[in-house]
Amino acid sequence: MADLKYEPVPHNHAEFLASARKRKGFSEEYDSLQLEYALAGQMLKARAKAGMTQDAVAERMGTTKSAISRLEAAGRHAPSLATLKKYAAAVGCDLQVKLVPHKAA
């Protein structure tokens, strides 16, 4: 496979959210997916830090670029822990999962 250089697409997330929150129902739906968006954000940052493309991650995981694209898209599906472990290993990370007690009211 040819060496592909990772080149991120410029994106101002704060501007995007400010604009999107004006749409009816957006805020409630977005807020309900907070955990999924946080995970997707961590995945994208880890891949960028590793300097890898989706193609390169897919090759290391033995899957396709489209599968990685779906995996990095928050809210579409819930990946298994096994898949998240493979992704983490492919981008040079360890996966950590923890339960955090609710804060007292």
CATH code, 55:
1.10.260.40
Cα dihedral value 92, 51, 57, 67, nearest 10: 120
| Residue 7 included in any domain | no
**For residue 51, what are its two tokens?**
């300097």
Q: How far apart are alpha carbons 93 and 40 in whole angstroms?
A: 14
Let me know how many helices (H) and strands (E) the chain has, helices first. 6, 0
Which tens digits make up the pLDDT trace of 75-101? 767 899 999 999 999 999 999 999 999
| Residue 75 included in any domain | yes
Which tens digits make up the pLDDT trace of 42-51? 999 999 999 9
Question: For the chain, what is the domain count?
Answer: 1
Has residue 1 got a pLDDT over 70?
no
| Residue 31 included in any domain | yes
| Residue 26 included in any domain | yes
